[in-house]
Structure 1
Amino acid sequence: MGYFEIKKSDKDTKEPYYFVLKAGNHEVIARSEMYSSKAAAQKGIASVQKNGASTDVRDKTE
């Protein structure tokens, strides 16, 4: 089962928070944009959890 990790950048920036989605084997699947607060990163996770489960594949290569 995959999981999310909330992280904070070591750099001095206005948007230091982000999250990564990891697979059950701890490999990174995706990395989020940067957020200004931990709460905003948590809302980003909630959005992925709500909208992420899909079997729809859209090929935009053609």
Structure 2
Amino acid sequence: MGKFEINVDKGGKYRFNLKASNGQVILSSQGYTTKSACENGIESVKTNSQNDDLFERLEAKDGSPYFNLKASNGQVIGNSEMYSSSSAMENGIASVKSNAPSADVVDNS
């Protein structure tokens, strides 16, 4: 089962990572100024990850595919790593969809 981990970065901002059951990070957040805003971001991922239309499939300058997950208001709430292929990226999206709704939250802040 996946899990969300909340951490504080060097700049003092709260960030979360969604990790798959194998420990691999499959979605990372922006920096939030408060823990409650970060927790709201996690709830937004849990809800919005079930709508495929909210996954924005993109390509980096070097051609590597990656994705952003957006909230219903269009704001990006998480982004992926760079993938080696489109099929690997689609597997990452599928992993977010399956792990996010029931993932526990681990507060490392």
Structure 2 residue ranges without an equivalent (≥5): 1-46, 49-53
The answer for the alignment partner of 1:8 in structure 2 is 59
- Superposition pairs of residues 36-55 of structure 1, within 5 angstroms: 36-54=84-102
The CA deviation string for residues 13-62 of structure 1, in whole angstroms up to 9 with x for no partner, is: 5xx1000000000000001000011111000000000001136322112x
Q: Could you tell me how far apart the structure 2 residues matched to 1:55 and 1:30 are? A: 15
Which structure exhibits the higher relative contact order, with contacts defined as CA atoms closer than 8 Å and separated by 6 or more residues?
2
Displacement over 3 Å in runs of 4+: none
Q: Which of the pair is proportionally richer in helix?
A: 2
Q: Which of the pair is proportionally richer in strand?
A: 2
Give the SS at the match of 1:57. strand
Q: Could you tell me how far apart the structure 1 residues matched to 2:105 and 2:65 are? A: 29
Structure 1 residue ranges without an equivalent (≥5): none
Give the SS at the match of 2:68. strand
Give the TM-score taking structure 2 as reference length.
Answer: 0.48
Taking only the aligned residue pairs, the percentage that are identical comes to 50
Aligned pairs, number? 58
